């Protein structure tokens, strides 16, 4: 296929789709191409259960409170100006979602049914039962389909960024993408590239992330020379449904604890109050650490969510996805406890961007989980992620719309077909390395192990990277190769930044406004 496009958007979650819609509205003359390595509805957006944090009840709540809750959750590593911008834009971005067709649950009075989640001082979470992300992504995809200047290309895995130096300054001039259906690698030149590739949860054995969360955006941006920061800020969600076999785990939403569920140990004790006065409404980092300490002391494999005291009919209506999944697993919420463990959930660091989503490379932008905006600090406040993606995609589109004509157009593409055999033996070798990577990367290594242990792991990652380079070259057309290459790169960054973090002095939490 011959590609001619002005804008390449990599990723079809809330960040990529909302950016494309905004830019298409402002500039119907531009050709916008969205590339996604699986189906257009793959990724983390559709899995977002809880909702989107927006201050609407100004009689009780305030922007200042949302600001301070975000700063407190992030341990003061947030950028205050970014936090202020995001929380104050929230109502306007919400109105756009409503205009684009998204629906949220209403109370009996006809007002938005605002939920409470851990770390929030007030009820400010808009939701659609427990499938808010799916609701938003479905409506955004329908909206995207209404624009003739937006083209969506599924089964295209973007492997690298194309970089050209002009007077010593690097700039992104396009992408290299692997057509997974035809085994063709294509270089596609354009004016601007937006990375909206999601996170890196598949670094870890236990994660709530989908299979596509392989740190692709961060790795390709790093390989191209873009600045990456705070990759050691990996958030573990405290309540993933425990399975005896490690892998992708089903998420039990933050909102379940906000609804009134208890977190208990094997003896039925609500142990969180031993660690934080907020108990089940503490932030995710505090609860995850408390669970792991409890498991270390007890030798047990999991702790439990107790929903037995809740109105079961109301709970099932409020959380239909969770209720159905538990039922399939043989868990009767009326009589049984839900076994849960912490699992890798969200990448708080990533590609450094400014308030307009610009990276350190000219003509390269990033939005969503792959970016590091300064909003989250060391730990994301619940339901701030969908909001962040909307705000920064809005900022990027608003910034680009009037000035994109000044960027030289080099539209066009060249392709090459695979000249090598993607053997089953190669796939086996890659899977073996991937298993070793997951065994290496743990919560304990990132957050609890001393610096020498981290440095030893870094040396192993160097060897792994060299092995990949020696065994596979640019003529390898395997998805598994590119994903593993990206994961190893991200793992190295996580541990390298963790070592650097040991030398940093932690800032005090900043005051609101």
Residue position matching structure tokens 């209403």? 106
Sign of torsion, CA 410 412 417 422? Answer: positive
Give the closest residue to 416 by CA, choosing from 224, 188, 223, 173.
188
CA atoms of 256 and 239, how far apart (whole Å)? 10
**Bridge partners (DSSP) listed for residue 53:** 125
DSSP state of 426: H
**Bridge partners (DSSP) listed for residue 259:** none
The HSE-up count of residue 485 (CA atoms within 13 Å, CB side) is 24
**Bridge partners (DSSP) listed for residue 34:** 9, 152
284 tagged catalytic? yes
The HSE-up count of residue 256 (CA atoms within 13 Å, CB side) is 31
Which alpha helices (DSSP H) does 401-450 contain, by range? 424-440, 443
Q: Do 340 and 241 touch, CB atoms closer than 8 A?
A: yes
Count Cβ atoms within 10 A of the Cβ of residue 229 and give its class: 0-12 exposed, 13-18 middle, 19 or more buried: middle
Give the closest residue to 397 by CA, choosing from 131, 5, 32.
32
Q: Which residue in the list 191, 284, 380, 434 is annotated as catalytic? A: 284
Q: Do 45 and 133 touch, CB atoms closer than 8 A?
A: yes
The residues annotated as belonging to the active site are: 284
């Amino acid at each position: 296929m011959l590609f001619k496009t002005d804008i390449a958007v990599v990723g079809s979650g809330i960040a990529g789709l909302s950016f494309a819609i905004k830019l298409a509205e402002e500039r119907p003359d531009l050709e916008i191409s969205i590339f996604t390595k699986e189906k257009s509805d793959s990724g983390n957006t559709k899995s977002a259960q809880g909702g989107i944090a927006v201050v609407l009840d100004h009689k009780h709540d305030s922007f200042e409170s949302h600001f301070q809750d975000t700063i407190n959750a992030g341990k003061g590593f947030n950028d205050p100006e970014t936090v202020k911008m995001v929380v104050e834009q929230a109502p306007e971005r919400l109105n756009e979602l409503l205009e684009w067709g998204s629906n949220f649950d209403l109370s009996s009075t006809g007002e938005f049914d605002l939920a409470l989640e851990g770390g929030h001082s007030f009820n400010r979470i808009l939701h659609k039962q427990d499938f808010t992300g799916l609701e938003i992504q479905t409506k955004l995809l329908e909206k995207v389909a209404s624009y003739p200047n937006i083209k969506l290309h599924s089964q295209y895995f973007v492997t690298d960024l194309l970089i050209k130096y002009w007077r010593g300054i690097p700039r992104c001039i396009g992408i290299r993408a692997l057509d997974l259906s035809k085994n063709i690698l294509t270089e596609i030149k354009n004016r601007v590239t937006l990375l909206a590739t999601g996170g890196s949860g598949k670094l870890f054995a236990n994660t709530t992330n989908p299979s596509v969360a392989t740190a692709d955006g961060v790795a390709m941006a790093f390989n191209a020379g873009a600045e990456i920061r705070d990759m050691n800020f990996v958030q573990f969600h405290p309540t993933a449904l425990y399975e005896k076999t490690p892998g992708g785990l089903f998420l039990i939403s933050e909102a379940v604890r906000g609804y009134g569920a208890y977190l208990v140990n094997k003896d039925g004790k609500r142990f969180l109050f031993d660690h934080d006065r907020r108990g089940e409404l503490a932030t995710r980092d505090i609860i995850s650490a408390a669970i792991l300490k409890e498991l270390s002391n007890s030798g047990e494999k999991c702790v439990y969510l107790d929903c037995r005291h809740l109105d079961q009919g109301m709970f099932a209506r409020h959380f239909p996805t969770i209720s159905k999944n538990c039922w399939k697993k043989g868990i009767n919420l009326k009589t049984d406890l839900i076994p849960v463990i912490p699992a890798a959930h969200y990448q708080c660091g990533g590609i450094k961007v400014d308030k307009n989503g610009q990276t350190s490379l000219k003509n390269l932008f990033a939005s969503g989980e792959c970016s590091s905006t300064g909003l989250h600090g060391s730990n994301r406040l619940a339901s701030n992620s969908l909001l962040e993606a909307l705000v920064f995609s809005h900022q990027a589109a608003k910034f680009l719309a009037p000035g994109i004509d000044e960027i030289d157009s080099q539209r066009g593409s060249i392709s090459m077909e695979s000249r090598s055999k993607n053997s089953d033996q190669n796939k086996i070798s890659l899977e073996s390395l991937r298993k070793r990577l997951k065994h290496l990367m743990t919560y304990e290594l990132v957050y609890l192990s001393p610096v020498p242990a981290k440095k030893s792991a870094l040396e192993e990652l160097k060897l792994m990277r060299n092995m990949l380079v020696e065994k596979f070259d640019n003529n390898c057309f395997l998805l598994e190769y590119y994903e593993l290459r990206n994961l190893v790169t991200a793992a190295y960054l996580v541990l390298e930044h963790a070592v650097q973090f040991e030398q940093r002095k932690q800032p005090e939490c900043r005051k609101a406004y």
